Structure 1
């Protein structure tokens, strides 16, 4: 079975792993970046001043190892090499107390600090003072334009956006966006490294706020907030509408290919001719945002807590990972979508073993 609508990312078999990686900021995303590289056999140095950083990194590594064991990429017995997985030995993850110590030997540096331009630019100044001039700095920003981020850098040509999706150790998509001063070599190096790590880098050729995926997520998020705000549906009902309905289709085909199948034998042409006029109907509040008053925020929190019941976030994340693993394995078996990235990673790890 083959996917008739190939994605716009490069072949996941391309590229070689970076010799060493640094992560600055060990929150949810930073710790997960460290986990993916370590599972691929790359040593990672991590800097984060928060006292909780060590616990975040350790718990994320544990979750990532468990997920890759279920994927068959790691041995359940050793966590490393197995006859089935042919996995390379795990890379070492080291926490450092200084930014300079983390980045001095790295060829790829992930910046994963809060979404504030000034904070990021201050971090770049520290990084550039210690890193090699040709080291690539990849910002995990979810929407800030790289041209704005690189405006005060000494070597702006080496900054690129590498925006991943949580959990980074399972979801293959990473949006790669260059700024006005980013060199093509920087983009090519980043794309190659991400490919080698089993990811599916999507080159975003136009520099826009929010890039591609978060623009789509924001649209859905706004509509969901309005439905709760107006009392049309609860948090749980909205999530059910997604996970029990179109969300299952999106996981394998996205929106356009899904609509092409909805057109029957006439394909997308029939679909757009039949349903296109509905786009003129005033359903959406796409460009308007409900005010996040204390009362509305309290409603969202109450409904979200009721939805989760007595399940802590850690249990929800574990369930998420188990479901994602099984979905990825099914897609791999069908040679479809994100399963192709997993298959390419499995081939690379087998060859390395």
Structure 2
């Protein structure tokens, strides 16, 4: 499979970030979005993220100091209006980024499917709606799947590849290979579940965080500190399963030992969490909002976002070097 031209439908935060990533890997990108001012917003966004993209090597791992080492240019994209129209036939891979509305995606996917070549994979960036919910009008649904990134795609390596029950093996393989070729870490999600995997993990942790803060157990600022100074760094390097294995002494026996050792206590914790689930009442939401406002007081959100992105570039450089040094095994 040779992919040189990617079609982007929808240039919100996700679609614009995908565009930057693909351009940084020397691909031609044809872009469409019906929203007023979309072309200008895309151009401005790409200019803002290009310096970070220029610090990445061809695998997508950030470098410390380098001029752009690949044939990449902001001039390699073409904004063609509200729809790709006649340009559909020119794309080798299609990334759809429309809003999370089943009716809209159903209509849009039917248009895309009828226009692109039969060999082209159609990937949706849907963050929670399985593709089986919006392929009913497609003539070739076997080449449709979810290619869900974590925001922002030009920095975050994860892409969840989620097929529906009739997606072809070749479409899955081609999508996995393509995302890997642009420095992403594709994960094949083998069964459609609402929210897929990463967002479900995020929802589980956030719901408990919301409950603890709304109940006054801890402030939003201290809750964030609990994550950024413990679970966050540890899981960022090895994930929960390897962390548990190491915590239990190492290896599969260590993992089982930790479960057997902490299992009885953790069941009590889970029972208490279920008893005090975040209730989504207005009072609880107001309590959360107040605590978060206290945390944000005197801070510039745009500066926080810029620092976050700069630190992510540094972090993935370290993690990428480490991964390479140990022959693909993240330690």
Instruction: Tell me the TM-score normalised to structure 1 length.
Output: 0.81
Residues 1:199 and 2:184 aligned together: yes
| Residue in 2 that maps onto 1:228 | 213
- Counterpart of 1:89 in 2: which secondary structure? coil
CA displacement 1:156-190 (0-9 Å, x = unmatched): 11111101111211111111111122111111111
Supply the distance in 2 between the matched residues of 1:180 and 1:310 (Cα, whole angstroms). Answer: 50
| Residue in 1 that maps onto 2:168 | 183
| Residue in 1 that maps onto 2:62 | none
Supply the distance in 2 between the matched residues of 1:339 and 1:55 (Cα, whole angstroms). Answer: 43
Residues 1:333 and 2:326 aligned together: no
Deviates more, 1:46-55 or 1:235-244: 46-55
1:71-82 → structure 2 map (5 Å cutoff): 71=56
- Counterpart of 1:334 in 2: which secondary structure? helix
Supply the distance in 1 between the matched residues of 2:325 and 2:221 (Cα, whole angstroms). Answer: 28
| Residue in 2 that maps onto 1:164 | 149
Structure 1 residue 125, shift from structure 2 partner: 2.4
| Residue in 1 that maps onto 2:84 | 100
How many equivalent residue pairs? 318
Supply the distance in 1 between the matched residues of 2:66 and 2:129 (Cα, whole angstroms). Answer: 44
- Counterpart of 1:66 in 2: which secondary structure? helix
Structure 1 residue 29, shift from structure 2 partner: 0.9
CA displacement 1:242-289 (0-9 Å, x = unmatched): 011110101101111111121236622321121111232023239944
Q: Contact conserved, 2:6 with 2:28, CA < 8 A, in 1? A: yes
Structure 1 residue 111, shift from structure 2 partner: 1.2
- Counterpart of 2:186 in 1: which secondary structure? strand
2:50 to 54, 59, 65: 65
Residues 1:86 and 2:86 aligned together: no
Q: Contact conserved, 1:100 with 1:131, CA < 8 A, in 2? A: no
Q: Contact conserved, 1:222 with 1:289, CA < 8 A, in 2? A: yes
Unpaired runs of at least 5, structure 2: 60-64
Supply the distance in 2 between the matched residues of 1:51 and 1:313 (Cα, whole angstroms). Answer: 25
Supply the distance in 2 between the matched residues of 1:189 and 1:169 (Cα, whole angstroms). Answer: 20
Supply the distance in 2 between the matched residues of 1:331 and 1:339 (Cα, whole angstroms). Answer: 12
Unpaired runs of at least 5, structure 1: 1-15, 75-81, 342-353
Q: Contact conserved, 1:174 with 1:201, CA < 8 A, in 2? A: yes
| Residue in 2 that maps onto 1:283 | 272
Ranked by relative contact order (alpha carbons within 8 Å, sequence separation 6 or more), the top structure is 1
Supply the distance in 2 between the matched residues of 1:339 and 1:286 (Cα, whole angstroms). Answer: 45
CA RMSD of aligned residues (A): 2.8
Q: Contact conserved, 1:150 with 1:179, CA < 8 A, in 2? A: no
- Counterpart of 1:284 in 2: which secondary structure? helix
1:17–1:245 distance in 2 versus 1, CA, 3 Å: farther
- Counterpart of 1:151 in 2: which secondary structure? coil
Q: Contact conserved, 1:223 with 1:284, CA < 8 A, in 2? A: yes
Instruction: Tell me the TM-score normalised to structure 2 length.
Output: 0.86
Q: Contact conserved, 1:330 with 1:339, CA < 8 A, in 2? A: no
- Counterpart of 2:103 in 1: which secondary structure? helix
